[in-house]
């Protein structure tokens, strides 16, 4: 595989992971806007499941050498910070 093709595959892989992370971020933002987490444990379960799925996608991409481990961790850490902010906001409500 040429280095240009490898770079293209890496860019595509990261773009897909970023898009999935953005979908989860949208779920978090909707939840923050409505602050319904305490009344809706199902929503929290969906977020947890989505986060787990994304972490597995990232692990797979890292193992294939398509994404650097620190890039993947950065995506997850950003989402975890948003989840923490959501949890704190729900406690203040």
For residue 45, what pLDDT band results from cuts at 50, 70 and 90? confident
First CA to last CA distance, the chain: 54
* Lowest mean pLDDT, pick from 2-6, 23-27, 60-64: 2-6
| Inter-residue contact 13 to 57 (CB < 8 Å) | no
**Quick one: tokens of 43?**
């929503």
Counts for the chain of helices (H) and strands (E), in that order: 3, 0
What pLDDT sits at residue 56? 96
pLDDT tens profile 15-44: 999 999 999 988 888 877 776 555 567 677
CATH code: domain 3-92 is 1.10.287.750
**Quick one: tokens of 83?**
């989840």
């Amino acid at each position: 595989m040429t280095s240009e093709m490898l770079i293209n595959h890496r860019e595509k892989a990261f773009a897909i992971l970023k898009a999935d992370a953005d979908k989860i971020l949208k779920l978090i933002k909707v939840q923050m806007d409505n602050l319904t987490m305490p009344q809706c444990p199902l929503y929290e379960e969906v977020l947890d499941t989505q986060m787990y799925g994304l972490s597995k996608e990232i692990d797979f991409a890292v193992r294939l050498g398509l994404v650097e481990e620190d890039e993947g961790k950065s995506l997850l850490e950003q989402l975890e910070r948003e989840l923490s902010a959501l949890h704190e906001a729900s406690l203040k409500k």
